[in-house]
Structure formats: C-alpha cells, structure tokens
C-alpha cells in the first residue's frame, strides 16, 4: 500500500536532512500514528506521501505509483486516491457545508447525479445531518473538522492522511473526531495520522511510528505515545 525505502529528504540551505534514510511500510487497512517533536520529520513524511515533495534519495511507492518518477501530469489523478485533512480545516468560507464537499467532486469532473447522492451520505457518516446549508463560520471547530473529513473521504479514497486533525480542538471534541476517523478506518481506509495528542494515541492503542531528528526511532504495534518504561 505504502512503501517508503531509504528515503532521505534534504531541504536546500539546511545541512541537516529532514528525513534521514527512513524506511517504512504500511499495509492496507492499517492505522498509523506518526508521533515526534516538532521538526522531527512528520510533516516532511506526509508531504512525500502526498507528492507535494520528492525525496532527495530513496523511493516512495503509494498505491502502486512510484512518486519519485510519476509525471506531474499524473499527480492529480494519484491524489484522487488520497484523502487529506489538516489542523486548520481549509474550508471555503463562502460556500456552505454541502457546497464545500460538492466542490471537491465538481473539480474532478464527477456528475451532478453522483454528487447529489454522495454528499448527504457522507454528511451522515461524519454526523452532520441537517447542517448541509450552514456556512463554515456558523459551525464549531469540531464540526468544521467533520466537514473537512467528509470532503476528504467523499471520493472513497484508499488512504486518509491526517495532519494533526485534533490540533485545534478541545479533548472532548477530539474524541468525537477520532471516533469518526476510527469508523473510516473500520470501513477499510488506511489511515496515517500525525499527532501530538498523547491521550488519543494512548487510548487508541494502534501502530505508532516515532520520529526524532528525521530518523524512525520506534515502530510499535499497539503502542502508546511514549515507550513505557
């Protein structure tokens, strides 16, 4: 599903690599937490998997595509197989909830008929029935993140990349978001989630990959945020 081999990512003007000879494999249906301090390389790794960046050395294979050699014309089609959510939601403020979700389908050329059925379905899945006509600024932070999740999964991606999805939310709201992400994972979507949220990682007991200084220092099945002594 995802195979990262001996990847080194060096940014110009910085002698220390952001990722240093990283190798990681993720199976279909996995739920992986990426943890580590700021600057440990979590975001760089996410960017490589999204093909926002290419590695300096090594290879990144995602869903059968070699992202080091994929042509830039093919990149949009590769991205359609991925869903992404961010800490800052990235919703369009002048569009309603339903329009925000529909937008992501319109721009990849989906038919009106498909959009009309897919949008209410996905709103139900993330628990936002009845809020289709609200504008983002009329929603709470947790609800906005649910909209972002709905947008990420409406095209039924094989992989969900979540970059600190609970970073702006209080613990109770975060629990709700994690329940939705867990449900998405149960339905068969592979989830990669970068997070600083200790309690969530400890509670979920899923695979934990810990990065430090661009190196994987721990890869543990059913792990917690920190290694227990």
Partner 1 sequence: MRWGFVLSEIRQGLRRNMSMVISVILVTFVSMTFVGTALVLQLQIGQMKNYWYDRAQVAVYLCDAISPQTVCPQGESSPDVKAAVEAKLKSPTLKPYIQNYYFENHEQAYKQFQQQFKGNAVAKYVTANQLNETFWVKLKNANDGEIITESFTGQAGVEQVRDQRTYLDQIFSILNAASLTAISIAALMLVSAALLISTTIRLSAFSRRRELGIMRLVGASNFFIQLPFVLEGVVAATVGSLLAVGTVTGLVQFFVQGFLAQQLPFTSFVGIGDALLVAPVLVLAGMLLAWFASLFAIRRYLRI
Interacting residue ranges for partner 1, rule: CB under 8 A: 51-52, 72-73, 75-82, 84, 90, 92-93, 103-104, 106-109, 151, 155
Instruction: Check if the beta carbon of residue 37 is closer than 8 Å to that of residue 226.
Output: no
In the complex with partner 1, the residue whose CB is nearer, 83 or 223, is 83
* Token digits of residue 92: 């369009």
In the complex with partner 1, the residue whose CB is nearer, 108 or 187, is 108
CB 55, min distance to partner 1, A: 15
In the complex with partner 1, the residue whose CB is nearer, 69 or 72, is 72
Indicate the length of the chain as a whole number. Answer: 229
First to last CA, the chain: 32
CB 203, min distance to partner 1, A: 29
CB 80, min distance to partner 1, A: 4
Could you give the count of Cα atoms lying within 13 Å of 186 in the half-sphere of its Cβ? 8
**Which of these, 50, 61, 52, 53, lies nearest to 17 by C-alpha position?**
53
CB 63, min distance to partner 1, A: 12
In the complex with partner 1, the residue whose CB is nearer, 40 or 104, is 104
From residue 10, give the alpha-carbon distance in Å to each of 3, 51, 127, 198. Answer: 19, 15, 41, 29
């Amino acid at each position: 599903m995802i195979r990262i081999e001996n990847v080194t990512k060096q940014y110009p003007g910085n002698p220390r690599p952001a990722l240093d000879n990283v190798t990681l494999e993720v199976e279909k249906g996995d739920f992986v937490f990426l943890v580590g301090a700021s600057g440990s390389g979590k975001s760089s790794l996410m960017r490589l998997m999204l093909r926002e960046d290419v590695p300096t050395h090594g290879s990144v294979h995602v869903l059968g595509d070699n992202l080091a050699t994929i042509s830039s014309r093919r990149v949009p089609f590769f991205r359609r197989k991925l869903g992404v959510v961010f800490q800052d939601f990235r919703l369009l403020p002048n569009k309603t909830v339903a329009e925000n979700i529909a937008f992501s389908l319109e721009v990849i050329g989906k038919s009106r008929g498909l959009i009309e059925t897919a949008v209410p379905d996905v709103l139900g899945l993330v628990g936002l029935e009845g809020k289709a006509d609200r504008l983002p600024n009329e929603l709470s932070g947790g609800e906005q993140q649910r909209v972002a999740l709905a947008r990420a999964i409406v095209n039924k991606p094989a992989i969900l990349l979540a970059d600190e999805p609970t970073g702006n939310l209080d613990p109770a709201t975060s629990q709700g978001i994690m329940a939705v992400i867990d449900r998405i994972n149960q339905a068969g979507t592979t989830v990669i989630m970068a997070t600083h949220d200790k309690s969530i990682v400890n509670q979920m007991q899923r695979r934990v990959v810990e990065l430090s200084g661009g190196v994987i220092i721990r890869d543990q099945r059913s792990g917690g945020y920190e290694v227990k002594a």
